[in-house]
């Protein structure tokens, strides 16, 4: 198997994980017929679809992947903006904010790192308040400017780092390149989400952030990040890291992912909703699945860029 291209090797591994999860749910259902596993089954089924879509999107070619990630950012921004309390005066600024999505991905397609990394934090940051001023409505101005910019940062700027990873060339003396690094990032972060959920469900006692997310516990958090870092060794072949580095990076990603999830939970609490949408059965909206990656993506990107490029 080690002779296989790392992307396809990873594909087989994901397939194996999905098959095992599906079997575990089937065994649980047979062992405890009195309990209701329909939500768990729906989640696992959704994982099959998400894994297939994601793997397809990054296996075909780079252009296709960019369109895919651009669409993820667009949908995430939609879910966030729909829940905002926007003012009629914000209309034109919001149109420009959405236009920033394709533009940001054009920089990625051009592999123009300098523009990619300042477009939203600098230019959109300066432009949007100016556009809001032209609507001549000062009541609620600061809130509007801040909320729109925050959404762009988290869901467009943050998520676009996943696509930008794909522009990294192969790292000498390892099987790693942009695509394998992206696979590593997404696999570790999603695995951490799942393991934190599983540990929390089975052993969770002590709430970690009771006012923000009553389902998050210390047992889930610690169990999740520790098992994630150990399990990350299995996918170390996607990276140029030594085993010890792999564990360290996975630990960092798991913690960053936790932070992302907690922040988006607070956003949902503030908006008074349980989920961001209803796109993915058992999971909620797109953002309910991408929340951890909004944080872990930029962290991982800049870490790898600093040390390897």
Residue number with CB closer to another protein (80 or 237): 80
Question: Considering the rule CB under 8 A, would residue 288 count as an interface residue with another protein?
Answer: no
Of the residues 277, 284, 297, 298, which one makes contact with another protein according to CB under 8 A: 277
Residue number with CB closer to another protein (27 or 95): 95
Question: Considering the rule CB under 8 A, would residue 79 count as an interface residue with another protein?
Answer: yes
Question: Considering the rule CB under 8 A, would residue 81 count as an interface residue with another protein?
Answer: yes
Residue number with CB closer to another protein (99 or 234): 99
d(CA 309, CA 307): 6
Question: Considering the rule CB under 8 A, would residue 75 count as an interface residue with another protein?
Answer: yes
Question: Considering the rule CB under 8 A, would residue 94 count as an interface residue with another protein?
Answer: yes
Q: Which one, of 231, 234, 226, lies nearest residue 255 by Cα? A: 226
d(CA 185, CA 166): 12
Tell the smallest beta-carbon distance from residue 105 to another protein (Å): 16
- Scanning 14-22, 92-100, 168-176, 260-268 for contacts with another protein by CB under 8 A, the matching segment is 92-100
- Scanning 12-20, 74-82, 133-141, 163-171 for contacts with another protein by CB under 8 A, the matching segment is 74-82
Q: Which one, of 145, 70, 135, lies nearest residue 104 by Cα? A: 70
Question: Considering the rule CB under 8 A, would residue 69 count as an interface residue with another protein?
Answer: no
- Scanning 67-75, 191-199, 241-249, 262-270 for contacts with another protein by CB under 8 A, the matching segment is 67-75
Give the C-alpha distances (Å, rounded to integers) separating 238 from 47, 159, 290. 21, 20, 21
Residue number with CB closer to another protein (260 or 285): 285
Tell the smallest beta-carbon distance from residue 53 to another protein (Å): 15
d(CA 264, CA 281): 19
Question: Considering the rule CB under 8 A, would residue 82 count as an interface residue with another protein?
Answer: yes
d(CA 51, CA 53): 6
Sign of CA dihedral 199, 202, 206, 209: positive
Question: Considering the rule CB under 8 A, would residue 3 count as an interface residue with another protein?
Answer: no
Tell the smallest beta-carbon distance from residue 77 to another protein (Å): 9
Tell the smallest beta-carbon distance from residue 92 to another protein (Å): 8
The binding site for another protein (CB under 8 A) comprises: 71, 74-75, 78-79, 81-82, 86, 88, 91-92, 94-95, 98, 277-278
């Amino acid at each position: 198997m080690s002779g296989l291209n790392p992307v396809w090797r990873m594909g087989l591994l994901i397939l194996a994980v999905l098959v095992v999860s599906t079997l575990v749910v089937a065994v649980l259902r047979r062992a405890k017929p009195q309990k209701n596993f329909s939500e768990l089954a729906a989640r696992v089924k959704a994982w099959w679809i998400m894994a297939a879509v994601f793997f397809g999107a990054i296996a075909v070619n780079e252009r296709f992947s960019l369109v895919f990630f651009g669409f993820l950012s667009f949908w995430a921004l939609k879910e966030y903006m729909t829940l905002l309390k926007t003012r009629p005066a914000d209309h034109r600024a919001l149109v420009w904010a959405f236009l920033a999505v394709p533009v940001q991905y054009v920089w990625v397609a051009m592999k123009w790192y300098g523009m990619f990394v300042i477009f939203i934090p600098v230019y959109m940051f300066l432009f949007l308040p100016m556009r809001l001023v032209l609507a001549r409505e000062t009541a609620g101005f600061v809130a509007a400017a801040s909320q729109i910019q925050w959404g762009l940062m988290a869901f467009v700027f943050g998520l676009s780092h996943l696509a930008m990873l794909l522009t990294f060339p192969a790292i000498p003396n390892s099987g790693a390149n942009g695509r394998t690094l992206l696979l590593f990032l997404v696999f570790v972060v999603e695995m951490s989400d799942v393991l934190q959920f599983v540990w929390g469900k089975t052993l969770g006692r002590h709430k970690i952030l009771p006012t923000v997310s009553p389902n998050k516990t210390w047992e889930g958090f610690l169990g999740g990040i520790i098992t994630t870092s150990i399990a990350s060794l299995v996918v170390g072949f996607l990276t140029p890291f030594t085993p010890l580095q792999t564990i360290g990076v996975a630990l960092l990603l798991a913690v960053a992912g936790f932070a992302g999830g907690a922040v988006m939970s607070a956003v949902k609490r503030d908006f008074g909703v349980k989920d961001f949408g209803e796109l993915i059965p058992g999971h909620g909206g797109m953002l309910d699945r991408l929340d951890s990656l909004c944080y872990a993506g930029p962290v991982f990107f800049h870490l790898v860029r600093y040390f390897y490029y």
